Structure 1
Amino acid sequence: MSMTPPPGWYRDPSYPLVERWWDGTAWTDHRRQPEVTQQPLIQPQSPSGGGSGRAKAVALVTAAVVLVAAIVTGAVLLRRDDSGEEAATRTTPAVASPTETADPSASSAGPSPSAGDPSVVVDELNGITFPLIDGWERPKYTADHDMVMSTPGTYDCPGDPGLCRHGRVISRTATATDETSPKALAEGDIEDAADSTYDRDLVDSRPFRGVTSHRLVKAGSVAVAGRAGYFVRWKVKTGVGPGGYVESLAFPSSVGSESLVIVRFAFDAGADGPPLSDMDRITEGIRSVGDQDGDGGVGSSIGPSK
């Protein structure tokens, strides 16, 4: 049985001098410089061996690239089910290191700064952590891989059959847009944020029979993880059920290419939904990875947005 490495930063098989994000099933377009100093491929040559030293350097670099490519090629696993039919082919990240190990986490830049910390949830891709406040937990048994936390338990959706949650928080990189303004991104994302929770879900069901209307509750500039961001919050009414509150929060990532990050909040309205103040508490607690004790995101207004 094959072991698929978990999501994380690994050496890029096509360019080993940088790290690339593996989402658990495939490589993404996110790349970054390694966070730890790597050992040089060769030792400096003496002046008398300058010509041969350069030749050896080229040969060693070429050999390293070929080695990594060979390892990645060997990681393409062709699996067959019990009936003998071919299963999907999957390429898994492989990292060449002096000490080969079966543990893929040993090949990354190092353990997450908050690994094992029960009070935070780490989003390594976007370089941020979320505070796991009372009434929230890490998501369990969900098809939405962008979800970073949810309220405990589920309930029967009031519309199409399925299981719903009273509160959800998801985090994703805004890669499908050329937008560079957090304000414009948040304003453009809020409708989709509302529809994805209260209109049609990931399997095209309508758990609340659609959004019938909405109104703006709040919007403005906010500092998040030390970066200037913007948020838009709506209250939505649905065909069935109590409706809910949705928020789109946009701000630049502090890692990699510093792409804009979108954090979506979706809270059911009514007595069973989480308190609306939790949106602000979670925003205030967002930090850059490795900066849990720093200034982080203050969650307060930073003045008018351009």
Structure 2
Amino acid sequence: MSRTLPPGWYPDPDAPQEERWWDGTAWTDHRRAPEVPGPPRPAAGGASGRAKGIALTLSGIVLVAALVSGALALARGDGDDVVADTAPTLATPSPSEPAPSPSRLVDELDGISLPLPAGWAPAKYVTRDNLVMTADGGGRVFTRTVPGSPERLPETLAKKDIPQAADTSYDDVRDHRVLRSGRVRVAGCSGYLVRWRVRTAEGPGGYVQSLAFSPAGGHGAPDTVVVRFAFDAGPDGPPLADMDRITRGIRPLDR
């Protein structure tokens, strides 16, 4: 039901025996006497019947005035003039409970799923650089699939990708230090990772890691998935331990 009355003549809330023009948003100064109803039908009792008719007419005017006043009070949001024991009680809707945060990210394009540690969330927008998840403070994780080839072994791909990861993640890289390099078990198969501490001309720099593995076994040269990590250094950056948590928690979608 709408709270806004349409323009028209209504009983004046201040003088119910008169009608006042409502322009749809506020009362105007235009008033008039109520329209005189037609002659009442003859009724038994003569004057008594006419008296009843007049009483009913006045009662109707008072009732309509009360309804108009109540509607206007609702339209103004003015509840101070409404008697407390006659005002309707509106139930306040309880806030809906937030949906639980997902614990894993499903990457259907690359055929894997990754864990979402505390503070991490799926990327809001799909971008060309394959960003799949982010964390407050400067954490990014990227994934891509490299077509299978005998020359594209996980170790070769990880070592080739790590300088690109540093250059694309941070501006004006001055030097780096290798923190970790070697084989690792990922998604039930053998993989390889390289992790650098990157120092930049300005700012705290960060940590980058390139992880390569082939989630599908079998004969021939399977496709290889490359997962690139970039964590800003400094007190606000994500914990470096999250690289290990995400790496250990990668799973192929068929498991």
TM-score w.r.t. the length of structure 2 is 0.56
The answer for the alignment partner of 1:238 in structure 2 is 200
The equivalent position to 2:107 in structure 1, one of 123, 140, 146, is 123
The answer for the alignment partner of 2:185 in structure 1 is 223
Q: SS where residue 184 of structure 2 aligns? A: strand
The answer for the alignment partner of 1:284 in structure 2 is 248
The answer for the alignment partner of 1:186 in structure 2 is 158
CA drift at 1:174:
1.8
Give the counterpart letter for 1:251 in structure 2: F
Instruction: Work out whether residues 211 and 226 of structure 2, in 8 Å CA contact, stay in contact via their aligned partners in 1.
Output: yes
Instruction: Work out whether residues 230 and 250 of structure 1, in 8 Å CA contact, stay in contact via their aligned partners in 2.
Output: yes
The answer for the alignment partner of 1:138 in structure 2 is 122
Instruction: Work out whether residues 233 and 246 of structure 1, in 8 Å CA contact, stay in contact via their aligned partners in 2.
Output: yes
Instruction: Work out whether residues 126 and 255 of structure 1, in 8 Å CA contact, stay in contact via their aligned partners in 2.
Output: no
The answer for the alignment partner of 1:300 in structure 2 is none
Q: SS where residue 121 of structure 2 aligns? A: coil
Give the counterpart letter for 1:278 in structure 2: D
1:273 and 1:285 map into 2 onto residues whose CA distance is 21
Matches within 5 A, 1:11-160: 118-141=102-125, 143-144=127-128, 146-152=130-136
Mind listing any 5+ residue stretches in structure 1 that lack a counterpart?
1-115, 153-164, 200-209, 292-306
- The 1:290–1:253 alpha-carbon spacing in structure 2 relative to 1, beyond 3 Å, is closer
CA drift at 1:176:
9.7
1:219 and 1:248 map into 2 onto residues whose CA distance is 10
Identity among equivalent positions (%) equals: 53
Q: SS where residue 187 of structure 1 aligns? A: helix
Instruction: Work out whether residues 229 and 250 of structure 1, in 8 Å CA contact, stay in contact via their aligned partners in 2.
Output: yes
CA drift at 1:133:
1.2
Instruction: Work out whether residues 147 and 222 of structure 2, in 8 Å CA contact, stay in contact via their aligned partners in 1.
Output: no
CA drift at 1:254:
2.2
The answer for the alignment partner of 2:233 in structure 1 is 269
2:164 and 2:109 map into 1 onto residues whose CA distance is 22
2:230 and 2:150 map into 1 onto residues whose CA distance is 25
The answer for the alignment partner of 1:41 in structure 2 is none
Instruction: Work out whether residues 127 and 255 of structure 1, in 8 Å CA contact, stay in contact via their aligned partners in 2.
Output: no
CA drift at 1:243:
0.2
2:156 and 2:251 map into 1 onto residues whose CA distance is 23
Q: What's the RMSD between the two structures over aligned residues?
A: 2.4
Q: SS where residue 137 of structure 1 aligns? A: strand
Q: SS where residue 127 of structure 2 aligns? A: coil
After superposition, what is the alpha-carbon deviation per residue over 1:102-140, rounded to whole angstroms, capped at 9, x for unaligned? xxxxxxxxxxxxxx9821111112211001110100112
Residues 1:212 and 2:174 aligned together:
yes
After superposition, what is the alpha-carbon deviation per residue over 1:3-38, rounded to whole angstroms, capped at 9, x for unaligned? xxxxxxxxxxxxxxxxxxxxxxxxxxxxxxxxxxxx
Instruction: Work out whether residues 217 and 235 of structure 1, in 8 Å CA contact, stay in contact via their aligned partners in 2.
Output: yes
Mind listing any 5+ residue stretches in structure 2 that lack a counterpart?
1-99
Give the counterpart letter for 2:167 in structure 1: D
TM-score w.r.t. the length of structure 1 is 0.47
Instruction: Work out whether residues 126 and 254 of structure 1, in 8 Å CA contact, stay in contact via their aligned partners in 2.
Output: no
- Point out the structure with max Rg over C-alpha: 2
- Count, aligned residues: 154
Give the counterpart letter for 2:164 in structure 1: D
Give the counterpart letter for 2:124 in structure 1: K
CA drift at 1:150:
0.4
The answer for the alignment partner of 2:142 in structure 1 is 170
